[in-house]
């Protein structure tokens, strides 16, 4: 891969949402490639704090129902929108697969918690770039209900859910985007 190709991959990765996903399954070996690349993220003390739960078939439909019901339960009746409820309900069904992004705290608490979360986020970026390269659109959703994901997912002691990585094949996974010029975010110090 050339530097130009790497730049293009990184700079064209985008958040792509379930309504756009094609009705096409993501084969297990493709999911394994995405997950394996996730596990190559740097991680302090080598705790490999990520715990991924891969939801396909009825499991991803169940996630959609769980998230939609959480929206209903946490929204005052006057603000509730049936359209939004249905959109959330369909997130699972429309996805080719969903990965619940979980983190298990090191039992000895060697890294700080934020360092373990940072490692998981780096794993997600690896997975996101891999998905982009494979023509799969994805996004990381962090609904408040993720904190209660233990109701629908097996979570071990010390494990918590940091959201969901929704994925699906799309017509075009690469969408070049703009960022602020470097001088708005970077300071160079040389003395
Ligand atoms: C930790 C994290 C949490 C996010 N949570 C949500 C979310 O709950 N809902 C959502 O629509 N997008 C979520 N996103 C996606 C961002 O909105 C998105 O990355 C941002 O708009 C930049 O767009 P891009 O990913 O296309 O570059 C999240 C992204 C990150 C890194």
Classify residue 155 as left (phi > 0), alpha (psi -120 to 50) or beta. beta
pLDDT tens, position by position, 6-26: 999 999 999 999 999 999 999
140 located within any domain: yes
pLDDT tens, position by position, 71-86: 999 999 999 999 999 9
Q: Which atom of ligand 1 is nearest to the CA of 143?
A: 8
| pLDDT score at 72 | 97
Calculate the average pLDDT of the chain.
Answer: 98
Q: Which atom of ligand 1 is nearest to the CA of 128?
A: 25
> Ligand 1: which of 50, 141, 177 to mutate, most ligand atoms within 8 Å of CB?
141
- How far, in Å, from the CA of 46 to the mean position of ligand 1? 27
26 located within any domain: yes
| CA distances from residue 78 to 67, 151, 188 in whole angstroms, order as listed | 19, 27, 51
61 located within any domain: no
1 located within any domain: no
CATH at residue 132: 3.40.109.10
pLDDT tens, position by position, 94-147: 999 999 999 999 999 999 999 999 999 999 999 999 999 999 999 999 999 999
Domain count, the chain: 1
19 located within any domain: yes
Ligand 1 surroundings by CB, under 6 angstroms: 14-15, 139-143, 177
| Residue range of the domain that includes 142 | 15-54+96-172
User: What is the average pLDDT across 174-190?
Assistant: 97
What is residue 28's three-state secondary structure? Answer: helix
Atom 29 in ligand 1: residue holding the nearest Cα: 140
């Amino acid at each position: 891969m050339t530097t130009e190709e790497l730049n293009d991959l990184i700079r064209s990765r985008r958040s792509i949402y379930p309504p756009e996903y094609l009705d096409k399954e993501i084969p297990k070996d493709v999911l394994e490639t995405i997950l394996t690349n996730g596990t190559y993220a740097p991680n302090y003390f080598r705790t490999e704090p990520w715990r991924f739960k891969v939801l396909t078939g009825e499991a991803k439909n169940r996630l959609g129902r769980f998230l939609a019901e959480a929206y209903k339960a946490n929204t005052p009746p006057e603000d509730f929108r049936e359209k939004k409820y249905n959109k959330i309900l369909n997130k699972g069904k429309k996805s080719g697969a969903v990965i619940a992004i979980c983190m298990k705290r090191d039992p000895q608490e060697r890294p700080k918690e934020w360092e373990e979360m940072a490692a998981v986020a780096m794993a997600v970026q690896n997975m996101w770039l891999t998905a982009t390269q494979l023509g799969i659109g994805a996004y990381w959703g962090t609904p408040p209900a993720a904190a209660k994901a233990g109701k629908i997912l097996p979570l071990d002691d010390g494990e918590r859910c940091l959201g969901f990585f929704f994925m699906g094949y799309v017509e075009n996974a690469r969408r070049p985007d703009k960022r602020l010029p470097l001088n708005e975010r970077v300071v160079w110090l040389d003395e």
